[in-house]
Amino acid sequence: MTHVLTLIADRRSGLLSGAIIARVREALGGGAPDVLSPCEAVDIACAAPPDLDAVRAALEDAPVDAIATPAKGRRKKLLLADMDSTIVTAETLDELAAHAGLKAEVAEITRAGMNGEIDFREGLRRRVAMLKGLSVTALEETWRALGFTPGAHALVATMRAHGATTALVSGGFSFFTDRVAGRLGFHIHRANVLIHDEHVLSGAVEEPILDRDSKLAALEELAAASGLPLCATLAVGDGANDLPMLLAAGLGVAFHAKPIVAASARARIDFSDLRALLFAQGYHAGEIIEA
Residues noted as catalytic: 82, 84
Backbone angles phi, psi at 16, to 5 degrees: -85, 85
80 forms beta bridges with 167, 235
Alpha-carbon distance of 133 to 119, in angstroms, equals: 25
Q: Which residues pair with 6 in a beta bridge?
A: 43, 67
Question: 61: Cβ–Cβ under 8 A, 6 or more apart, which residues?
Answer: none
How many Å apart are CA 242 and CA 261, to the nearest integer? 8
Euclidean distance between CA atoms 257 and 173, whole angstroms:
20
Q: Positive or negative, the Cα torsion across 95, 166, 193, 175? A: positive
